[in-house]
Structure 1
Amino acid sequence: HLLQLAPLLLTLESKLWKLGTRVITQGIPKRSGVQVTDIFFPTIMTTLFDGELALVTGGGSGIGRSVCQVLDREGAKVIAADLNYTNAKETVNLLKDPVQHLAISMDVTKPDSVKVGLSEIMKKFEAAPTLLVNSAGILRTAPFLSEELTNFSNVMDVNLKGSFVVSQAVANAMTQHGLSGSIVNIASIAAKVGHPNYASYCSSKGAVVSFSATIAKELASKGIRVNCVLPGIIRTPMMEGGWNDDIDIVIKELTPLGREGKPEEVAEVIAFLLSKRSSYMVGACLEITGGLHM
Structure 2
Amino acid sequence: MARVSIKNRERIIVLQFILPALIILCLFVFYPIIKAIVMSFQTWNLISSSTTHPFIGLDNYKAAFQLTHFSAMIKNTLLYTLLSVAGKMILGLLIALLLNRKFHGRSFVRGLILIPWAMPTVVVCNTFLISLDPNYGILSALMTKLPFISDTLLVFSEKNSSFIAVLIISIWKNFPFISLMILAALGGIPKDYYDAASIDGANLFIQFRHITWPQIKPIWNTLLVLQILWTVKEFELIYLITKGGPDNATNVIGIDIYLNAFRFYKVGMACAEGVMLLVFCMIFATIYFKSINKKEQSL
- What's the TM-score bracket when you normalise by the shorter of the two chains? under 0.3
Q: TM-score, normalised by structure 1?
A: 0.25
Q: TM-score, normalised by structure 2?
A: 0.24
Q: Report which structure shows greater RCO (CA 8 Å, sep ≥6).
A: 2
